[in-house]
Amino acid sequence: MTTPSATQYPQMNQPILGIPKENREGETRVAMTPDSLKKIVKKGFRIRMERGAGITAGYPDADFAFDGVELVDAVTALGAEVVIKINRPTVEELAKMKKGSLLICMLEPFAQDGFIEKLAQAGINAMGMELIPRTSRAQSMDVLSSQANIAGYRAVLEAATRYPRFFPMMMTSAGSAKPARVVVLGAGVAGLQAIGTARRLGCQVEAYDVRAEVKEQILSLGAKFIELDVGEEGTGAGGYAKELSEAAKLRQQQALTERLKKADVIITTANIPGRKAPILVTEEAVKGMRAGSVIVDMAAPTGGNCPLTEAGKTVVKHGVTLIGATNFPTMMPSDSSSFFGRNVFNLLGLMLDDKKPSILTLNLDDDIIAASLATLDGQVRFNRK
């Protein structure tokens, strides 16, 4: 698609921002919280927020009762010039949105279901929060990181509640208990938070990642780095892990299996954007773990790092509890919503000109805006490859 000149950049003059209630099953978050909305109102924007949108996140309607915010029904919120959501809209919601409006949400762009194409056909300009590049300049808008941080923390707490023994070493008059041995697989944002949380709870922690450069970060958190030679470098574009060859995957599984049998708790976080999650915890490893051990598979939504994981369920197999929760941030909705809202506010800041308050400009010369715009003017910009 030809990039327009500066004078052709789409602009929205004093658009109304709509915040509809999230209606996906199990979703407890809200896209914007009072702290972020107050900042937006100060910029001169008006907000139409669906009644009850923040209740499950701990923000009743009374928290939004300030000048600039109007509590409305779902149709009115979805009919705003700019619609901000956590999850992408349903087909029914999409039908209530205006042609030419701007949608900002998690688009799930790698899903092969034609949704991005439907947005383009409806003439809706859509920005995917997960498409924001992982660069220093974009850190304040990085929803993947803000939500993964919460997920890594919560995953450890879920493991602690399911593990039938103490996490820290305990000395009592009845005897002592050894600290739990925790292995974290994948040292991205979620993995590093899981390591830090497990260490703060007194666990002995080991961690593994295919990217050798994260060793220093793992060691800095007080964990031991698991050294494996799989014959390949695992660093991909943008700092993400890349998919290994089949031979390297097999070597990785074989090398990990015996070590994982000794773990009391395994937390897996390994994901590859747009691909099925790699298998790191084999059934053989699970069979070798002590009864009562726990696996938290944070890759459950993309197939799981363990073949025994069941997405959305907690099951016991071979005496080991496998937690396949698919949305950890919803377990801490107040902070998750607040972080998401701040990320969105910072993204909106890129589209504002101090000399022209209340005007949003989609400046395609800005690398963050250009990367996150999945659809524009009826055209699909996102390339799944």
Task: Report CA dihedral (40, 42, 48, 49) to the nearest 10 degrees.
Answer: 60
Q: Which of 8, 14, 121, 139 is catalytic?
A: 139
Contact 108, 359 (CB under 8 A): no
Q: Give CA–CA dist 182/201, Å, rounded.
A: 11
Contact 90, 67 (CB under 8 A): no
134 is catalytic: yes
Residues 6+ apart with CB under 8 A from 373: 125, 126, 127, 362, 364, 381
Q: Where are the alpha helices (DSSP H) in the chain?
A: 34-42, 74-78, 91-94, 115-121, 143-162, 189-200, 215-220, 246-260, 283-288, 333-350, 367-372
381 is catalytic: no
Contact 277, 311 (CB under 8 A): no
Q: Give CA–CA dist 260/264, Å, rounded.
A: 9
Q: What's the one-letter identity of residue 219?
A: L
252 is catalytic: no
Q: Which of 134, 165, 199, 259 is catalytic?
A: 134
Q: Which of 145, 193, 253, 372 is catalytic?
A: 145
Contact 341, 31 (CB under 8 A): yes
145 is catalytic: yes
Q: What's the one-letter identity of residue 10?
A: P
Q: Which of 88, 142, 204, 336 is catalytic?
A: 142
Q: Give CA–CA dist 7/13, Å, rounded.
A: 15
Chain centre to alpha carbon of residue 147: 4
Contact 197, 152 (CB under 8 A): yes
Closest CA to 224 of 237, 235, 209, 246: 209
Q: What's the one-letter identity of residue 154?
A: R
Q: Give CA–CA dist 325/55, Å, rounded.
A: 22
Chain centre to alpha carbon of residue 331: 13
Q: Which of 140, 240, 335, 366 is catalytic?
A: 240
Phi, psi of 238 (to 5 degrees): 65, 15
139 is catalytic: yes
**How far is residue 70 from each of residues 31, 57, 101, 129, measured CA to CA in Å?**
16, 19, 19, 25
Catalytic residues: 134, 139, 142, 145, 240
